[in-house]
Amino acid sequence: MTAKGLGMTAVVDEDSRISGIFTDGDLRRTLDRGVDLHSTAVTEVMTPGGITSQPEHLAAEALKLMEDNKINSLLVVDEDSNLIGALNMHDLLRAGVV
């Protein structure tokens, strides 16, 4: 199962828990290495884990997480660490947070 955000796809298990993320950067690195995308599982080329936020966090807290980790997207998880969404820097720009 995957959940898509701008520039990022979250890879989750059957319980909606995050296994990893596949980003534009992962795709570029995979192509640079000449990996055959038609015969390679995303789990072989994804980045394990992912930076997460919770829905009750303030937008400013999400922005700080992005800045501190030098990333443009965050996964949003519930209290049981189940993926419920994704937040992108563009979302924060549109909302006037940045």
Averaged pLDDT, 10-31: 90
User: In the structure, what pLDDT confidence band is assigned to residue 5 with cuts at 50, 70 and 90?
Assistant: very low
Residue 4 has pLDDT above 60, yes or no: no
1, pLDDT greater than 80: no
> Is 2-94 CATH 3.10.580.10?
yes
Q: For all residues of the chain together, what is the average pLDDT?
A: 88
Nearest Cα residue to 45 out of 64, 32, 55: 32
The full set of domain ranges for the chain reads: 2-94
Three-state secondary structure readout of the chain: CEEEECCEEEEECCCCEEEEEEEHHHHHHHHHCCCCCCCCCHHHHCEECCCEECCCCCHHHHHHHHHHHCCCEEEEECCCCEEEEEEEHHHHHHCCCC
Q: Which two tokens stand for residue 93?
A: 């720009």
Residues 65-93, mean pLDDT to the nearest whole number: 90
pLDDT computed for residue 30 by the predictor: 94
pLDDT score at 7: 76
pLDDT-derived band at 78, boundaries 50, 70, 90? very high
User: 75 falls in which pLDDT band (50, 70, 90)?
Assistant: very high
